[in-house]
Structures are given as structure tokens and as C-alpha cells.
Chains A and B, each alone.
Chain A
Amino acid sequence: MSTTEEAPLVRLEGVGKRYGNIIALRDIDLEVGASEITCVLGDNGAGKSTLIKIVAGLHRHDEGVFRVEGEKVSFGSPREALERGIATVYQDLAVVPLMPVWRNFFLGSEKRTGAGPFKRLDIPFMRSTAKRELLDMGIDLRDVDQPIGTLSGGERQCVAIARAVYFGAKVLILDEPTAALGVKQAGVVLRYIAQARERGLGVIFISHNPHHAYPVGDRFLLLKRGRTLGYHTKEDISLAELTAEMAGGAELEELAHELESAGVQGAPELREDARDLGVSD
């Protein structure tokens, strides 16, 4: 950590969000600094997407404080977030499959040359830049002219990540980038996520798989039904504990306790289970 009290890139304090009368998030704290990976874990419906949509500028929060580099913000659109250096890679919205890799890489931020009606794409620049940037991230493509749909799911995610890095993102939000991938491909994507951190980016990595999150993460926020179940740094939690907490180990123990006090048989076995999961000792 730097000695000067530098504000983290993104910091949420007591953030809450309601959809009408549904409380999707309540009192959430989260932070991510440069060269850090913060993982957000939780089951379906836990509020992970809602949380990152606030940071990405798709929704405004109703409660709490959202700071970017120390400054209070509330984004009205993804563009505003992008201008502050917060880029998001959505799992299913990352690319246009039929378009060549280099066109996908520059889509929406095309480099042009010439003037007036003859303003045109600077194709040689975009081709060679896409090729080089991907190579820098360790993605060695045969041909940047091939449709991006011919790449594997993992490679596609990587191109989307490389693109966000190239266009100057400071914070990268990844919504379940490994969810639909096989073990090997997920490994490839995790390597690029770690690489983005090495390049000084802050990463918010959404996952429901602790085995993907633990090896790369620095901080872990566990969500359940819109509330914080736990917020840990890597030093104070092991993979087994993280897995157990996600699997509801703490609840299991609570249940055992309740049953025990009610004198129900079998409660000790339940307590054993909880211990095996690494929650209590």
C-alpha cells in the first residue's frame, strides 16, 4: 500500500438499491483499488448484477455513498461510468460474433483517417494494433480477420478484456466471465484477469464459483438476498472457509444450534457437517 492516503478507485459505503418495493441490495460496502481484484460472490438472485449495474452506470443507488477516486458520484448512464474509466464486460454482450476480431476490438471507438466525405476507417492501424494488444495480453491469434465467433468462449472474453484495457479503463467489471466456460478456458480467462491487475487495473470480478474467485481475488464480498454475508481479504479466509460460507455453512450451524436447543435428535450430526465444511471449530 502507498504511504500517501490514496483513495481507492471505487468505494461503496452502505449502498442500497430498491426496485419498487423489492429491496435488491441493502447496506453494502465494497472497495477496489489499483492492482486489486475484488470478487463478488453469491447465488442467483443475491444481487450481484444489481451491484455492478450501479458501478457500471446502468442503475443509480438509492442509499449510501458511491465514490470514484474519493469523489462522490451517481452515474446516469454507462457512458458516464466509461468516462471515469469504469468499463464493463458483460458475459453475453461482449462481442458481435460474425464480425472480424479487429472490428470487434475497435467497435464503437473506431480509429479514422481522412477528412470530410472521405473520412474512412484506418484499417491498417486497427488491424496491427488489435493484433499487438492481444499479443501483449498473451493472446496469440492466427488472424485478426477471422470472425470473432470462431474463437473459443474464453478467447472472446479475453478480447473484450484486452479492448477495455486498451481504451484506458482503470476499473474493469466482469460479470460472470467464467460461468459458461470449461475448466481449461476458465483458467485462460482467469490468467488474463490476473494480467489486468498486473497492469495496474482494479478489477471487480463477479462469480458464483469460489474455486474461480479465490485464486485470483484480493477481497471477497459474499452476497445473500441483497445483504452482505461476509467481506474478507484474502489473508483472513481460506478457500475451504469461503466455499463453506457460500454453501451456507454458517446457516447450517445456526440451524443445528436451534435444533439442539429444541432437543431434536440428529442435531449433533448437523453440527459435524458444519465443522467439516470448515465453518465452526
Chain B
Amino acid sequence: MTIAPPAADERVAARSSFRKLLGRPEIGALIGAIVLFVFFSLVADAFLRASSFSTVLYSSASMGIMAVSVSLLMIGGEFDLSAGVMVTSSALIASMFSYELTLNVWVGVVVSLVVTLALGFLNGLLYVRTGLPSFIVTLGTFFMLAGLNLGFTKLITHNVATPSIEDMDGFSQARAVFARDFTIGGVQVNISVLWWIVFVAIATWLLLRTRSGNWIFAVGGSAASARAVGVPVTRTKIALFMGVSFTAWFYGMHILFNFKSVQSGEGVGNEFFYIICAVVGGCLLTGGYGSAIGAAIGAFIWGMTSNGIVYAEWNPDWFKFFLGAMLLAATVVNLVVRRRAEAGK
């Protein structure tokens, strides 16, 4: 089948591919990433070493995997403040279930997947049933999960961390899937980096090339309008919360098989880092606009900055200041973008 390209309109001529590029949500983040890369290359000699690059990539992936689904959720107009502790919950469930019942670790992995997806479903269901802002609903589930993580872990293991599962059945295969290191062209890369790239690619395809992606933009941009034309709004929103729980499970498995033992108090605060990655990457806090690639660039900026400060031998205490300033700058840029898109002519 061939489709004749629509006849060129002389008024479009001005809208060159360069202008189009400038209209993309991730463009601000891309420019920011290049500037930061050049900056750290100049001020920190260690920054350009291959080993540094692999560290930066690994940190980026540690935020980026969650930032993928968090950005989709934000485009769909919602927040999930329980995303950080849910990663820990997921790792704790898999670890304790396998260890306490002395089962193959894969049993724990599957049980954890089911329970974590159910947690995402619950977040979504609470949101659509109560009609409360997702910010409030997930603030509640955030504290509940944080409490359960500590409570159950102490109750079961009499410790704040789980015992190592290194010598259990299935550990080495699971580690190969979730946490193996290997080298590409002399650079050591953790498999989580590859998974991150795969997730970003899938999410991008989903957003831009599928009906589901259309619905995600629509429910975030104007849920009432979307409903009026027949988009299943509640189903889409619940699926987005479940997407977050899916990556929480995945990243939880990485943590479990990378570190063998899980700290039950971990994860608190990370939900904000995921949101920062998404917003720096061009997602609007109000929904309906953003991209998964942008969130990936946001995570890469996170990875470069958090490590670059160390390589530059500065006090890492400054990092959070940087992060906050970047969030503000990105939000202002996004606001301008939105004003232009909505009211401009």
C-alpha cells in the first residue's frame, strides 16, 4: 500500500525540521545534558574515563528504569509517591518468601511480581474509586508500605535487613537476568543499563505509535474530553499505576540479586528523584505532555551530576541543591512550552 504524501502547504515551509525538533518535549533536557557533559569533562579529569562512564550509566539506570513508568504515569496526569518504597517492598517479598520457605528464588520472584502488580492495581483502584488526587492516595500508600516494609522485615527476620540469599537455588540464573555485569568495548556495563534502554524503547513506541499511547496523552491532557469521545479513562489510569508497579518489581529484583540482601528502610525519597527525572525530561506536572526518552535523559543528567560532583572532588552535599535548582529550571521551561502549545498561535 502506498500513500501519497499530503500536498505540501507553502505555510508549513517555515516550520523546518529544526523548528519541529525544538518543539519536542525532551529538547530542553538534551541541551542540559550536553552542557553538563561538557562542564564535567572540563572540571573533572576523572569524568571521561571509561570506568567513570560505566558508573554514570549504572546510576542513571538506577533512576531511569523507574523514571520510564513514572513518566508515563505523569503524562497520564497522575503521581505515584509510593513508587520508591514499592521497589523495596518488591525486593523484600521475593527475598523473604524464598528464604523463609526455602524455595527456589524464582518462586519468590514470581510471587513478588504478582503482589507488586496488585499493589499498583490497588493504587489505581483507590484513585478512581475515591476520586481523590493521586498525590494524596499514594502519599497514604507510601507511608503504609514504608511501615509494612519495616514491620514485616523485623517480624520475620528479627533484623532491619533480609539475610543473604546468595547460596539459594536459582540465584545465579536470576542474577544473570537482573544484575549481571559484562563488558562492551572495554567498558563494564551492568545488564540493568540494557534493560533500561529496552524499557525506554518500548515505552516510546507505546506512547507514540499505539492506541494506548494516544489514550495516555488524552487522559492526562483532559480526562473529561477523553471520556466524552469514548476513551476508557479509568482502565488507562489503572494500567499506568500498574506500569509503575511493574518497573518497581523489576528494579526491586535488580537490587535483590545485585546486593543479595535488602535493607527494609531503603527507597524512601526516591519517588521524588523519579519525578525529577521525568520533569527535567519534559513531562508536565499537570499531565498530557512529555516523553519517555526525555525521562531517560533526565535520569542520565541525574547520573552525570551525582557522580560528576564526586569526580570533581566537590562536597557531594551540594548535589541536592543542584537537583532542586534543575527541577525549578525545568519546570519553568515546561511551563513556557505549555503556554505556547495551549494559547499560542
* Residues on A facing B (Cβ under 8 Å): 78-79, 82, 88, 90, 92-99, 103, 106-110, 112, 119-121, 123-125, 127-128, 131-132, 142-143, 147, 149-150, 152
Contacts and interface: CB of A to CB of B under 8 A. Distances in A.
Nearest to B205: A120
B282 to A, nearest CB: 12
Given A93-B228, A107-B229, A121-B214, A98 B341 contact: yes
A109 B226 CA distance: 11
A125 B15 CA distance: 22
A120 B209 CA distance: 6
Given A79-B230, A97-B221, A107-B214, 20 more contacts: A78-B228, A92-B224, A93-B224, A95-B225, A96-B218, A98-B288, A98-B338, A99-B221, A109-B229, A119-B210, A119-B211, A120-B210, A121-B210, A124-B3, A128-B6, A142-B11, A147-B342, A149-B341, A149-B343, A150-B345
Contacts of B167: none
28 contacts: A82-B230, A88-B228, A90-B228, A92-B224, A93-B225, A94-B225, A96-B288, A97-B222, A98-B338, A99-B218, A103-B214, A107-B214, A108-B218, A108-B229, A108-B230, A109-B230, A110-B214, A112-B211, A119-B211, A123-B209, A128-B3, A132-B6, A142-B9, A142-B11, A142-B15, A143-B9, A149-B341, A152-B345
Nearest to B337: A98
A96 B345 contact: no
B12 interface: yes
A163 to B, nearest CB: 8
Interface string B14-27: 01000000000000
Nearest to B217: A99
Do most interface residues of chain B lie in helix, strand or loop, or is the interface mixed? helix
B344 interface: yes
B40 interface: no
A112 B6 CA distance: 19
Contacts of A98: 217, 221, 288-289, 338, 341-342
A97 B341 contact: yes
B246 to A, nearest CB: 16
B56 interface: no
Given A120-B209, A143-B12, A96 B217 contact: yes
B218 to A, nearest CB: 5
A92 B211 CA distance: 23
B341 A96 contact: no
Contacts of B229: 107-109
A127 B226 contact: no
Contacts of A106: 214
